Structure 1
Amino acid sequence: MTRNPNRRLLALALAAALAPAAGSTAWAQTADPFALPGQDAAATAGSFVVGDIRIDGLQRISAGTVFTYLPVERGDTMDSARAGEAIRALYKTGFFEDVRLDRQGDILVVTVAERPAINKLTLSGNKDIKTEDLLKGLKEAGLAEGDTFDRLALDRVTQELTRQYNNRGKYNVEITPTVSRLDRNRVDVTIAIKEGKAAKIRHINLIGNEKFGDEEILAGWESREHNWLSWYRRDDQYSREKLSGDLEKLNSWYLDRGYVDVSIDSTQVAISPDRQDMFITAGVTEGDQYKVSSVQVSGDTVLPKEQIERLVLVKPEQIFSRRLLEISSDAIVATLSNVGYAFAQVNPIPDVDRENKTVAINMQVVPGPRVNVRRIVLRGNTRTSDEVIRREMRQFEGSWYSQAAIDRSKIRLQQLGYFETVDVETQPVPGSNDEVDVVFNVKETTSGSFVFGLGYSQLSGLTTQIQLSQTNFLGSGNRVSVQAQRNDYLQRYDFSFVNPYFTDSGVSLGYNLWWREWDYSDFNTAQYSSTSGAGQVVLGLPITETDTVTAMLGIDSNEILTYRGSTPESLIDYIDALGRRTFHSWRAEIGWGRNSLDSYLTPTRGMQQRIWLEATLPGSTVEFYKLNYNISKFWPLSRHFVLNTRAELGYGDSYGDAVSRHLCTTSTGDACNPSAPDYLRTITADGLPFFENFYAGGVRSVRGFTDNTLGPRDTALGSSYQQSIGGAFKTIGSLEMYFPTLLDTPAARVSAFVDVGNVYKDYDSWDAKELRASTGVALMWRSPMGPISISYAFPIKKEDGDELERLQFTFGGTF
């Protein structure tokens, strides 16, 4: 318990008078507290000369520390005033809970009782406030493991925690601190928290609103009355800060609609006796609606005045709107900041004519000094090299400040996918009013993945898989991926490398190498197998900030193995018509892409689209082409809700001549006598090769349907089992709404979606009636163990024979 030092001085004097130590002389045994027995008080004048100082009672604190704070040294004259000063100085250190001064001859004896040290600090029961945030706050308040324990500090912390929980609407919170004494003058401090349930807002009542209804005004409030979605949105939980923001919204609501004289007269918050229900009442006086009489721009506009005036959205005869004023001011500030005026200000000065109910507005422009960027400072990039970040900068050191260039630099860093967050701050240079440093604070995220798998089944035998990918290899910004997988039905070895800055201008160069043995029946497609290998060179050329042209040239070989009685007959006919099973190709690709997304990991606005043409060159075994188009656009509907519209189109065909052959086979597929016309038939190899077909269904296209099972099907000779063979024309569309998550992290997103799509034999076979559709919910989470995508879908348009799979997920490991 902390004691008042002045009262302590009195208590010490009384104790010294009543209980002198054996063999010593205490303070108050004579008229002079420091006089020896029989000594004349007048002669000593209430003092003695300190010949030596002894410290008693120390355990953890060294005597040197005490001497550092003690304002008395050998040879000093000690009296009552100096004693009080010494005691106050030692108490002020916070190290001691008891201090006593005694005298033995000319020795000043300082007896102290140390405050205990905090051995362990434990928190329990806290869910609404993170433990790390609480520990940080406790440390700032003087409570941390290893620190000296202060009961007063613990009491203050208890009161502050109670206040914070009350502000979050939890009025039944119970905070119980426990202090356990240990040996060696130590204590364990435990703070047990019973948060209880947050009080729910049962009713919000607005008084005085005659022009607008309650429902219309309250639509934008964060505080809501208890409703059926409150369990998810938690908008019915009372918070003082949230209510303050809502009252500001109420004021803005009227100001944005011309009610200049609006005032919020009163706010009352009532709580039920059981502290579970909240009732909010706000009184408002609306006043009259005002119009804009005139608008002018004044001050130093820097740029031509006409250019600045075009940015002003407020016009005469309009209903006054503070929001339009703010948008106009922000537009002018942004324009000036792009030409170096980083501290530009626009002060809208209204002249209110209450008699005529009009407002004249003067937009006063104060540009401030033109600012130069001295340095660009990077912080937080522990793995990523500075060069990788600096090459994305569009704001340069030594150039004029440009807010647009800084914003674009931030977006380019977010698009890399290396960072979970990117924050920018502008710091003025001390002693200079025309220079700033621009600081980019990044928080790195996992940019690689490592997957290792080992298993056994009767179907595929022993399976091993190793996959290693890194989009920011060794912090260089290069992308490297290596994969090896092997079992009885599959062998796969892949390697890819991309240097996104092969040249300083941003030209990228990459290489792909692979060798694979596939049994496609394992992928829900037709039963055939292939052995393929390829080598490719990929080039990327940026043409604008958002647009890139890509080109690829490669050579590949693909051997197809079919099995009569297992492989669909149409696929066997294609192989037989060509008279070969090995296909060699020179393959080329040209594409264009545009990316204006604001983030690679969790975009909220912008568009990403790509169109590319892939074709085998003349002289290849099969001459064909494939045209693909993907687009994804994000629409921010509000601060919390984002809509994603997505579409995929794919079309392929051959451009060479069709190949036909006449075959004579029996009903079992065996060769027959050509003179038997009943078994003579013509087979043709035309169109897109079946091993290049598009597929649909699954977590990456139409969720709720099994992977690769939508589209055309065929049967093997002598079998009725329908096998998916894909098609040459693909159409996929999706609407997906992203919601705020219960997990307090930007790495997680919850969504509701509607997927539509299918695959068709060719373009002429397209039929809207054959489209499949599903709806459901999904969770995307960049967990510490890797990216996880989980969806649960309900097919809303399906046909008999469709293979359904409502719960689908993908996951991987990260490092």
Structure 2
Amino acid sequence: MSRPLISYPKNAGWIFYVLVLWMGFCGNSGSLAAEPTHSPNAPFTSDDATSVIDDIQVIINDRPHRQATYAQMARRLIRQKPGATITDAGIRASVEALTLSRRFSAIHVDTSDSHQGQTLVFTLTPYHYIKDIRIRGNPPLFDQDVLNAMTLYPGDPYARDQLAAQAVAIGNRYKREGYIDPQVSIEAIGQDEDEKETLVVNIRKGPAYQLGSLRFDGRRAISEFTLKRHMHVWRVTLLPGGSRFSSYHLKQDADALLALYRKKGFVDATLSYETRMADDSRHVDVTVTINEGKRTHVSMVGNHRFWNLTLKKDIVLFRDGNRNNIGVRRSIRNMKRRYRDAGFLDARIKAEILPSADAPESRQHIRFTIQEGPETLVESLDVSGNQALATKEIKKAVLTRPPGLLHDGAFVPETLEEDVFSVTTLYMQNGFQNRQVSPQLAYNADKSRVAVELAVNEGPRTMVRTIAINGLKGTGLSTGDAQKVLVHRVGAPFRQPALQAEKEAIASLVAEKGYPHATVDAQVAFSEDRSRADIVHRITPGPKVFLGEIFIAGNLRTDEGVIRRELGAQPGDPLALRTLYDGQRRLRDLDIFQSVNYRTLGLKERDEMVNLFVDIREKAPYYTEFGVGYESDSGLYGRASGGDRNFLGINKALSASGEISQTGYRVETRLTDPRFLGTRTTASLGIYNEEETEFNQTFGTRTTGGSLAFSRSWGAHLLSALNFSLERRDQFNVEDRVTDEANESTRTDFVITPSLRYDTRDSFVRPRKGVFSSFSVDISKGIDEDADNFVRYQIDNRIYRTPFEGITVAGLVRIGQVIAYGENGDVPDDQLFFLGGIQDVRGYGENLLRIDEEGDPVGGKTAMVGSLEVRVDLGMNLELTTFFDIGSVQNALVEAGSDSFRSSVGLGLRYITPIGPMGLLYGHKLNREEGEADGYWHISIGYSF
């Protein structure tokens, strides 16, 4: 005989659960009927043998090939065990564990009689998972826009009752784009052999609202066209098929118009808008009502320490407005703060609103009157009462100081407070637990000078006499292991705050041995004069915990072995949380996953075995990229690439790319392994074919080859690499390219290239600060002849600084040299250095920094380049650039041109896009030779450096 105890669908509430549980235990039929009633929150107990669990059965409602896996998972999660007494708490814990695993869509618990007691029967329905989401009818939105509106993603558990909410969310996203009544349906099609569903999203957008009339009431100072130009809802009407009206964008437009008015001086402007549906129920008429207020001009009087331009940075009126005079008050507060930081402690600022003399009804004048008061400078800084610490050491920790080469000497009370804290901390770090530091100030008559004295009462110095660590027995750690993580050392100063850090460090160390519940109590005994401290760390390891099973879900394509290898932990290992977190970080670092989440079950219950659930969201494996453009060094070009970032599901990237331009073409196929032989080393194997004839060159090269590269990151900034390549190179004369290939020379060479790169730039696309340095050596060996027997060194150093907001200074130094080591001391033309053009010395044509009598480029074995560039942010994604370039090509193989340095200056304008800047630059030669042009125009995508 059997009866249900719990039926627990995934969305059932706890009230439902408790009621069903109560009925299951207190009902009047089945073997439990004879048991006394009890509270659902109290444990179920009885002396009757029938309340003892004889067996636990797990029934999986799924296809046979999935039943064993889920049954094994469930048995590990069920808290009740055979031989134990049935309790409501135990069943509740079992259901909770099964629910938290997020692997079962329905959970049902029954009981049946047996000779030895009761059999618990868990009937479970596993989730199906979403294999793919296909979107139809989504333009003008991209697939990713639609996915961002959903809460489901490929790899997530599938539940049919969630589809309606997804459809509503997608529909709302299209309504935001202006569609009147978009219809969205989602259907699940075809389960595969792994019970994975494919969702098909069908979108029927239907008609969209359109902008009808657009009227501005109250507009006087700004033209109607200018206002329209700042409104997205109007601009889209100029585009073919882009006339959708969106209330979402209208709200943004209202904010943009208000910002425009404030920027033009209307700091009291207010703006509202109304919409009215036209008679056709499709067009929307918009009326924008503007109360411009008076146009405001701001001036400052009485300021001598700061320029007007500097103080205007503190005025927020033209950005935030002046509602209820809040903008004026905030501006005054900002200016006072600037004066105070400069030592003007009694600066007074007031604002007067005056009518404009020429147009009092439409203009007003806000005048900030500044009484700077005396500038208080630090006359002297003295330290008294210090005996153990030298005055010089204390002053190093203090920012308050007299005027000097790198300090203006301004006295700021807030800075002095920070200095007192800094000196107090310094004494604490040296063992003075009861130290006191008191600042004493002595002003002169007009408060323009102040003498600062730091009066120190050191108190007794406490040194560590002994350190004891108790409780490590059986943990696998020695006292020496624990001492390595301590801050204190015997004979060193005692620091009270360091105790907490030591407790956490010891607990973390013990936890890594399988004791995640370890606690550490630190006690200190002081000598009578507090000059000595005895430290005792008492460790309570708690129960040893092991890692149970690792359950992985969401890996639609990725082989489970890849994930387990990155985790770095195996079932049965002592539970080490830090190891698990490190594994999670490694998984997230892989380019094949969008997200990785961990959940542990059994840890808070202090179970001996803790199961780990890993939920994966994979990135779309396939990708394609296309691009066309123009650059000065390659002319018109087109690029395409595509690949599989998770080839065969084993975390290997397979890619193919091609490029064609006015200077040649290149095609390449490459296979990359980011975890070569299970290490942190990336290996990449590629084959390629290319032909290149650079602008202004007299020769070209065709290259077919293969390369094998290894690289490894050593922290956040350092990268080392080793590259091997085997190439067949055909060098041809450009003039004979079509009619005569007899002049071609074919060479086969093998090149080994070790390299180092150090990069601290804050952005790869638009760096504003940081350093980039690289060093590489090409060691080439000719297979058929010794023409390619050479060693090539290249050094590239760049620095970026932003001394002022919006102004970035960038510098470059690049050096290259080729040294032949064969019997033939010459180097092939295609291995020489050529300079000139957008990538190095601007103002010269590509490769034309050094030329012969006929104007052809001359290369050399040595090249040096230096550049200095100032980039000024103009706003509106525009950037003004000024630059100075200098370079030299030396050790040429022919007697033509000069080894001397040549230089240029220039100016440019760049437009900053999300993928980098696009620019037009002009370089002017500073040492132009006879017959040369004065300069050269360059078109660039990205920065030169």
TM-score normalized by structure 1?
0.52
Aligned partners of 1:485 and 1:561: how far apart in 2? 21
CA contact (8 A) 1:486 1:492 kept: yes
Per-residue deviation, 1:645: 0.8
Aligned partners of 1:778 and 1:533: how far apart in 2? 39
Secondary structure of 2:826's partner? coil
CA contact (8 A) 2:719 2:756 kept: yes
CA contact (8 A) 2:727 2:750 kept: yes
Q: Which of 747, 769, 773 in structure 2 is aligned with 1:609? A: 773
CA contact (8 A) 1:223 1:235 kept: no
Aligned partners of 2:379 and 2:661: how far apart in 1? 77
Matched, 1:740 2:830: no
Aligned partners of 1:450 and 1:363: how far apart in 2? 67
**Amino acid corresponding to residue 555 of structure 1 in structure 2:** L
CA contact (8 A) 1:223 1:237 kept: no
Matched, 1:588 2:721: no
Partner of 1:697: 836
Per-residue deviation, 1:626: 1.3
Partner of 1:314: 400
CA contact (8 A) 1:500 1:507 kept: yes
Partner of 2:192: none
Aligned pair in 2 of structure 1 residues 195, 537: CA closer, same or farther (>3 Å)?
Answer: farther
Aligned partners of 2:500 and 2:229: how far apart in 1? 46
Aligned partners of 1:499 and 1:177: how far apart in 2? 57
**Amino acid corresponding to residue 284 of structure 1 in structure 2:** Q
Partner of 1:483: 657
Partner of 2:378: 291
Aligned partners of 1:556 and 1:723: how far apart in 2? 27
**Amino acid corresponding to residue 796 of structure 2 in structure 1:** N
Per-residue deviation, 1:624: 1.1
CA contact (8 A) 1:586 1:620 kept: no
1:450-498 deviations in Å (ceiling 9; x for gaps): 336699xxxx9xx995422799889999887633356999453223455
**Amino acid corresponding to residue 511 of structure 1 in structure 2:** L
Aligned partners of 2:263 and 2:336: how far apart in 1? 22
Aligned pair in 2 of structure 1 residues 495, 693: CA closer, same or farther (>3 Å)?
Answer: farther
Q: Which of 715, 727, 731 in structure 2 is aligned with 1:556? A: 727
Aligned partners of 2:698 and 2:260: how far apart in 1? 64
Secondary structure of 1:251's partner? helix
CA contact (8 A) 1:705 1:805 kept: yes
Aligned partners of 1:504 and 1:362: how far apart in 2? 60
Secondary structure of 2:310's partner? coil
Aligned pair in 2 of structure 1 residues 689, 547: CA closer, same or farther (>3 Å)?
Answer: same
Aligned partners of 1:324 and 1:766: how far apart in 2? 64
Matched, 1:638 2:723: no
Aligned partners of 1:127 and 1:326: how far apart in 2? 54
Per-residue deviation, 1:186: 11
Aligned pair in 2 of structure 1 residues 765, 323: CA closer, same or farther (>3 Å)?
Answer: farther
Per-residue deviation, 1:295: 8.2
Q: Quick one: higher RCO (CA 8 Å, sep 6+), 1 or 2? A: 1
CA contact (8 A) 1:258 1:291 kept: no
Aligned partners of 2:497 and 2:384: how far apart in 1? 13
Q: Which of 338, 350, 356 in structure 2 is aligned with 1:266? A: 350
Aligned partners of 2:652 and 2:291: how far apart in 1? 48
Partner of 2:462: none
Per-residue deviation, 1:184: 11
Aligned partners of 1:705 and 1:742: how far apart in 2? 30
Structure 1 residues 341-380: aligned runs within 5 Å = 353=442, 357-358=450-451
Aligned partners of 1:545 and 1:759: how far apart in 2? 35
Partner of 2:336: 251
Matched, 1:778 2:942: no
Aligned partners of 2:926 and 2:291: how far apart in 1? 43
Partner of 1:530: 701
Aligned pair in 2 of structure 1 residues 712, 546: CA closer, same or farther (>3 Å)?
Answer: same
Give ranges in structure 1 of 5+ residues lacking alignment.
1-118, 133-143, 147-153, 226-233, 299-304, 340-346, 375-384, 392-396, 400-404, 420-443, 659-685, 715-720
CA contact (8 A) 2:263 2:319 kept: no
Q: Which of 402, 409, 415 in structure 2 is aligned with 1:325? A: 415
Aligned pair in 2 of structure 1 residues 258, 269: CA closer, same or farther (>3 Å)?
Answer: same
Aligned partners of 2:403 and 2:496: how far apart in 1? 26
CA contact (8 A) 1:548 1:592 kept: yes
Per-residue deviation, 1:348: 11
Partner of 2:625: 450
Matched, 1:280 2:379: no
Aligned pair in 2 of structure 1 residues 160, 757: CA closer, same or farther (>3 Å)?
Answer: closer
Q: Which of 929, 939, 943 in structure 2 is aligned with 1:799? A: 929
Aligned pair in 2 of structure 1 residues 184, 601: CA closer, same or farther (>3 Å)?
Answer: closer
1:91-126 deviations in Å (ceiling 9; x for gaps): xxxxxxxxxxxxxxxxxxxxxxxxxxxx98998865
Aligned pair in 2 of structure 1 residues 701, 453: CA closer, same or farther (>3 Å)?
Answer: same
Aligned partners of 1:790 and 1:454: how far apart in 2? 13
1:734-776 deviations in Å (ceiling 9; x for gaps): 1111222322x6xx64422222224334499996754131311
Aligned partners of 1:627 and 1:470: how far apart in 2? 33
Structure with higher Rg: it is 1
1:173-195 deviations in Å (ceiling 9; x for gaps): 68574554656999956243779
Give ranges in structure 2 of 5+ residues lacking alignment.
1-208, 216-225, 234-245, 386-390, 430-435, 458-494, 509-557, 567-575, 595-618
Aligned partners of 1:553 and 1:497: how far apart in 2? 15
Aligned partners of 1:603 and 1:255: how far apart in 2? 33
Aligned partners of 1:593 and 1:159: how far apart in 2? 46
Per-residue deviation, 1:797: 3.4
Aligned partners of 2:332 and 2:295: how far apart in 1? 19
Aligned partners of 1:546 and 1:749: how far apart in 2? 28
Secondary structure of 1:467's partner? strand
CA contact (8 A) 1:712 1:761 kept: no
CA contact (8 A) 1:644 1:735 kept: yes
Aligned partners of 1:640 and 1:722: how far apart in 2? 41
Aligned partners of 2:380 and 2:499: how far apart in 1? 32
Aligned partners of 1:367 and 1:167: how far apart in 2? 51
Aligned partners of 1:500 and 1:331: how far apart in 2? 48
Aligned partners of 1:197 and 1:708: how far apart in 2? 60
Q: Which of 311, 317, 323 in structure 2 is aligned with 1:221? A: 311
TM-score normalized by structure 2?
0.45
Per-residue deviation, 1:587: 0.4
Aligned partners of 1:179 and 1:236: how far apart in 2? 28
Matched, 1:468 2:607: no
Aligned partners of 1:630 and 1:165: how far apart in 2? 48
Root-mean-square deviation (CA), in Å? 6.1
Aligned partners of 1:454 and 1:767: how far apart in 2? 35
**Amino acid corresponding to residue 484 of structure 1 in structure 2:** G
**Amino acid corresponding to residue 730 of structure 1 in structure 2:** A
Structure 1 residues 612-631: aligned runs within 5 Å = 612-617=776-781, 621=785, 622=787, 623-631=789-797
Per-residue deviation, 1:164: 9.2
Partner of 1:654: 820
**Amino acid corresponding to residue 312 of structure 1 in structure 2:** V
Secondary structure of 1:712's partner? coil
Partner of 2:690: 516
Per-residue deviation, 1:526: 3.0
Identical-residue share of aligned pairs (%): 13
Partner of 1:205: 301
CA contact (8 A) 2:262 2:320 kept: no
Aligned pair in 2 of structure 1 residues 556, 643: CA closer, same or farther (>3 Å)?
Answer: same
Aligned pair in 2 of structure 1 residues 753, 505: CA closer, same or farther (>3 Å)?
Answer: farther
Aligned partners of 2:372 and 2:663: how far apart in 1? 77
1:276-307 deviations in Å (ceiling 9; x for gaps): 67453222241462538778999xxxxxx999
